[in-house]
Amino acid sequence: MQISPRVGLCAACQHVKVIQSAKGSFFLLCERAKTDPRFSKYPVLPVLHCPGFEPQPEEPRPQQ
């Protein structure tokens, strides 16, 4: 699922997980919160600064 860039850094972070509620709402869960108390399980958006941000790995490009 494509995350809107309006949520800030989480949109491009490898530690984010998209959760859908039973009512169809979407939430962003920070997986770092499982092991590090500095992070909130459900970060307040938009996240503009985060010491845990790590970009998602780029998808491999097709070889020519």
Which parts of this chain interact with ligand SF4 (CB under 6 A)? 9-10, 13, 15-16, 30, 32, 39, 43, 47, 50, 52-53
Residue position matching structure tokens 């809107």 = 4
Residue 25 or 53 with smaller CB distance to ligand SF4: 53
Check if the beta carbon of residue 47 is closer than 8 Å to that of residue 39: no
Closest approach of ligand SF4 to the CB of residue 28, in Å: 7
Amino acid at 44: V
Taking the alpha carbons of 51, 26, 59, 41 in that order, is the dihedral positive or negative? positive
Closest approach of ligand SF4 to the CB of residue 63, in Å: 31
